[in-house]
Structure 1
Amino acid sequence: MSDPTTLDSYIDALAAALGLPIDPAWKPAVRANLEVSLKLARMVDEFPLPDETEPASVFRA
């Protein structure tokens, strides 16, 4: 989903769904941040974990 046209369509759809107006002047910055977020998400998703990996414990105060 790194194609600028696809990302712009995605941004427009999410903005409309959330009722969030995005100034056209800010769209390149929004797209750049989304590209970075998607890149980081890909890195996390592709990181191999062994089958015996356990989720972290939950601590409550």
Structure 2
Amino acid sequence: MSESFDAAAHCDHMAAVMGLPVAPEWRAGVIANLEATSAMAAFVLSFPLDDHVEPAPVFEA
């Protein structure tokens, strides 16, 4: 990703788009979770895959 993720701006924007009130005492926790999720997503997306890799057709635990 070339641009940085602004968790606070994303929190405010999505709360407005979804009509979801975020109480002031929850905002810091929501932003922390968005930052953690962004870091996990960046880690997953950074894993190199060959062009011939196919997704599994069935997942079995």
In the superposition, the TM-score normalised over structure 1's length comes to 0.80
Which stretches in structure 1 are left out of the alignment for 5+ residues?
none
Structure with the higher fraction of residues in helix conformation: 1
User: Deviations 1:29-52 (Å, cap 9, x if unpaired)?
Assistant: 001100110001001111000111
1:32 is matched with which residue? 32
Which stretches in structure 2 are left out of the alignment for 5+ residues?
none
Cα distance in 2 for partners of 1:8, 1:55 equals 34
Cα distance in 1 for partners of 2:25, 2:35 equals 17
The Cα shift of 1:17 comes to 0.2
